[in-house]
Amino acid sequence: GLIPIYIYLDQPWLPYPHLYETFGYSTGISDLPRLLKKLNAMTDDEITAGESAVAAFARSHFTDEAVIEQMKAFLLGGPTDLVCQKLPESVTGKGTNNSAGVWAQ
């Protein structure tokens, strides 16, 4: 598979952030030039290794069936690679993020 590159404005919303580091790249818009330099300097072997890592996780984490299994395990308290994240503060100021991480108006 292709190596995923995720570019975000405020904070990354990745379903498997601790695993994502092993097969993809994530960067804020302000750090994009640095990532582009890093990607441009990659060797063919590094690209091949990254593509192999993506392929290893594709079937177990990104097919419809795999996502359902990961969500089921998360909801039932079993072992899963999903990570719960706190909601960011409102950019519009119309809502608040309470201590439970639930968006409220």
pLDDT grade, residue 15 (50/70/90)? confident
Cα separation of 74 and 60, whole Å? 15
At 30-42, the pLDDT tens digits run 999 999 999 999 9
| Burial label, 23 (beta-carbon count in 10 A; 0-12, 13-18, 19+) | buried
Residue range of the domain that includes 34: 5-104
Structural domains of the chain, count: 1
What's the half-sphere exposure (Cβ side, CA atoms, 13 Å) at 33? 1
- Cβ(30)–Cβ(51) under 8 Å? no
What does the pLDDT average to over 89-105? 54
Task: Give tens-digit pLDDT for 36-84.
Answer: 999 999 999 999 999 999 998 888 899 999 999 999 999 999 999 998 8
**Strand blocks (E) in 1-105:** 5-8, 25-28, 96-97, 103-104
